[in-house]
Amino acid sequence: MLWDLFFVFLKIGAFSFGGGYAVMTLIEQEVTGRGWIQPEDFQEIVALAGMAPGSIATNTATLIGYDHLGITGAIISTVGIIFPSLLIVIACSAIFLRLQHNVWLRSSFYGLRPIVTGLIVYAAIHFGVGRDTAMVFSLSSFGMLLLCAGSLIAVMRYKIHPFAVILMAAAGGIILF
């Protein structure tokens, strides 16, 4: 069972482009498909992982490992998800220093941007709305969109510090919900 946990998160760690939120769908499919976590519990784990410091993907892997197999599971799943990144960063940094001015390399990074953006937008919609598609047209989802738009404008146009925007969004959530 420990090897299964390790290899699942090793695979996720090896194919997690775009950061934690972009890989949440893959984590959910893997762990709910194996019956380790129920979809409702997964949403709670992601919420808790998002509140903890550090990468949400790593935190989610740690919490799933802990929920599934205790402390040993937490350690195994954490090592599994970060190990590919560690190896890739070491290898890429050595290569990138030699090829940093290569046109092909720069073009490939620009090509990955829309894919990563799409994965993050999907994750935001998926976790913002949840599984209830009727909620897409509810007053609650309108409030979430209002908070999202207001936060985006505050950061991009008015250059308000993100921490202040988070506090204002929390206050807005208390008022709206």
Average pLDDT, the chain: 88
Q: Do 84 and 14 touch, CB atoms closer than 8 A?
A: yes
| Most confidently predicted of 20-24, 79-83, 103-107, 121-125 | 79-83
Q: How many CA atoms lie within 13 A of 138 on its CB side?
A: 13
For the chain, give every domain's residue range: 2-131, 132-177
Q: How many CA atoms lie within 13 A of 157 on its CB side?
A: 6
Q: Do 27 and 119 touch, CB atoms closer than 8 A?
A: no
Residue 135 has pLDDT above 90, yes or no: no
Cβ contacts of residue 30 below 8 Å, gap of 6+? Answer: 8, 11, 12
Cβ contacts of residue 54 below 8 Å, gap of 6+? Answer: none
The alpha-helical segments, DSSP class H, found in 34-156 are: 39-51, 56-99, 103-129, 139-156
Residue 134 has pLDDT above 80, yes or no: no
Residue 95 has pLDDT above 70, yes or no: yes
Averaged pLDDT for residues 130-139: 64
